[in-house]
A and B are shown apart, each in its own frame.
Chain A
Amino acid sequence: MLRFFVRRLLETIPVMFVIVTATFFMIRFVPGGPFTTEKAVSADVLRNLNAHYGLDQPLYRQYFSYLGNLLHGDLGPSFRYTNRTVNEVIADKLPTSLELGGWSLLVALGIGLPLGIMAAARRNTWLDYLGSSVGMLGLCVPTFVLGPIAVLIFSIHFRWFNASGWYGPEDRVLPCLVMGFFYSAYIARLTRAGLLDMLNQDFIRTARAKGAGELRVIFRHALRGGLLPVVAFLGPATAGILTGSFVIEMIFQIPGLGREFVTSALSRDYTMVLGTVILYAALIIALNLVVDVVQVWLNPKLKLE
């Protein structure tokens, strides 16, 4: 187990390196810089700005000094926010996005798992059909449709919540429900399929023959294996929740990192874009690693590979 973990951990190093390098050069080969604005900046000012941020040096030198700083955890100064470093901006915005994502994930699991389990346990009854239709609904009504419609109904029509903002606890309700609902649909489908797969196996028949009750069969015997597809999905899903939060943060005007990323890309804030990409990539890779370990723990057969 430890060897497996260490090997996977070592594998992430070249991946991260490629991501950093590719993003760095991709950004630089694009027309337009952080200081190209509508109003013309005088040549002197521009030269000073470039010198201040080290943009006048050869590209390879900028690259290596960036890598060196990165190894110390320093993501450099932001071009758009004067006197703020990328680290500060991220430290400021990330907690909001994490809070949004965390609650959404809880909502997704809280709706998806019970629905999937019920659908599998009562196959071909109305409970099953309910689960499947909710699943289909989630697949077909994306967050950027569901979000505004939820605002229309609950904020504008009923006036239960604020239409946007991120202040009190009531502001968390709509964004997290909307985002969580989308993923709960996938989770319900996967739980149902995984559990049905398990319930057809011989060891379940053995458990039933030994007189185990239905609840015990499902929760003690079938669920562990049945959750495998769900766990496998959670890696990419968390990535999706992080990136999906771009839209949610736009709709509900939440001051999180997703919105920051889109605006900084639009204004060519090189270091900010690079820092955010690195952070997202690292988060996603770390989460995939956790998912792999949990999968091996749930299914010891995988250890052999």
Chain B
Amino acid sequence: MVGGFLLLALVLICAFGPMFSAYNFEDQNLANAFRPPSAAHWCGTDQFGRDLLVRMMIGGRISIMVGLIATFVALVIGVTYGAVAGYLGGKTDAVMMRIVDILYALPFTIFVILLMVFFGRNIFLLFFAIGAVEWLTMARIVRGQILSLRKMEYIEAARSLGYSRRRIIFRHMIPNILGPIIVYATLTIPAVMLLEAFLSFLGLGVQAPMSSWGVLIKDGAEKMEEYWWLLVFPGGVFSLTLFSLNFLGDGLRDALDVRAAKD
């Protein structure tokens, strides 16, 4: 619950905070550069005199958006793949899950880095690349759940009514396993945000003039020797967000008691 409220507060601040601020996130004011936190600039200013608080809120929008959209991509791929494998069963299932096992063993971070380097640092590609990496566990969980539903009587009934496979999977089975899917999606969001920040930290993620928490942390780390606030505030907010998401996910998992999501 605490996690949920904290998260809600962070999202609301990022969404509406900039409207109430006297500063714009891209207005430069060189006379005002590198000011430590004060009453006028609560979190200080950066090398161009931009207000760090507003930049953190704008960066937070991007970070949270990447977290949500990439998780959604992972969700769509993972649920479809897992459901198909679990429903069809037999040889198809064995082959499909073996592929997942093999993909698990691959150095995916390296491939995401290569993708970002070679195909331009496009934010939509970023969503897709991260989503394409994070779907594996989701596929496993969904498959396990579908497998256990397959023998239920109401599925038998639906099948005897002559419904198509697609209709049975998406209309009858998936709604019944939404619990574990939601729990795992909540736990995927922090993993995705971490990956985005990791890429941005290496300079491969979100590009200027846009900003994300990863970018701000990177900038802060470069200048921390003299200007500690540039690192400490973005780092702190990012950690706080991860904390609330993990906390929320753990809480939901305990409440819904999903064993499959436990790994």
A residues sitting closer than 8 Å to B (CB atoms) are 15, 19, 23, 26-27, 30, 136, 139-142, 144-145, 147-149, 151-152, 156, 163, 193, 229, 235-236, 239-240, 242-243, 246-247, 250-251, 261-262, 265-266, 273, 276-277, 280-281, 284-285, 288
Contact = CB atoms under 8 A, between A and B. Distances in A.
18 contacts: A27-B118, A136-B243, A139-B242, A139-B246, A140-B243, A142-B242, A144-B217, A145-B235, A148-B231, A149-B232, A163-B225, A239-B107, A243-B107, A273-B114, A277-B110, A281-B107, A284-B107, A285-B105
Nearest to A243: B109
B231 A149 contact: yes
A259 to B, nearest CB: 10
Contacts of B247: 136
Contact of A145 (B239, B246, B263): B239
Interface string B82-123: 000000000000000000001011110110011001110000
A243 B246 CA distance: 23
Contact of A266 (B117, B225, B239): B117
B224 A19 contact: no
B202 interface: yes
For chain B, what secondary structure do more than half of its interface residues adopt (helix, strand, loop), or is it mixed?
helix
User: Interface SS of chain A: helix, strand, loop or mixed?
Assistant: helix
A142 B221 contact: no
Nearest to B228: A152
Interface string B184-210: 000000100010011001100000000
Contacts of A273: 114
Contacts of B34: none
A288 B103 CA distance: 12
Contacts of B114: 23, 26-27, 265, 273, 277
B215 to A, nearest CB: 11
Interface centre among B107, B113, B119, B214 (most CB of A within 10 A): B107
Nearest to B220: A148
Interface of B: 102, 104-107, 109-110, 113-114, 117-119, 190, 194, 197-198, 201-202, 214, 217-218, 220-221, 224-225, 228, 231-232, 235, 238-240, 242-243, 246-247, 262-263
Contacts of A27: 114, 118
A247 B202 contact: yes
Nearest to B102: A15
B219 to A, nearest CB: 11
Given A142-B194, A148-B235, A149-B232, A243 B110 contact: yes
A136 B228 CA distance: 24
B173 to A, nearest CB: 27
A144 to B, nearest CB: 5
Nearest to B105: A288
B106 A284 contact: yes
Contact of B231 (A152, A229, A246, A262): A152
Nearest to B222: A148
B198 to A, nearest CB: 7
A280 B232 contact: no
- A-B residue pairs, 10 tightest by C-beta: A148-B221, A30-B118, A145-B235, A140-B243, A140-B242, A243-B109, A265-B117, A144-B201, A280-B107, A140-B239
A139 B217 CA distance: 17
Nearest to A282: B107
A180 to B, nearest CB: 18
Contact of A281 (B106, B201, B238, B243): B106
B231 A19 contact: no
B105 A15 contact: yes
Contacts of A15: 102, 105-106
A247 B201 contact: yes
A284 B108 CA distance: 11
A262 B202 contact: yes
A145 B107 contact: no
Contacts of A163: 225
Contacts of A246: 109, 113, 202
A277 B107 contact: yes
A121 B105 CA distance: 33
B110 A145 contact: no
B246 A236 contact: no
B121 to A, nearest CB: 11
A203 B240 CA distance: 42
Nearest to B115: A26
Contact of A251 (B110, B197, B221, B240): B221
A136 B246 contact: yes
A251 B102 CA distance: 32
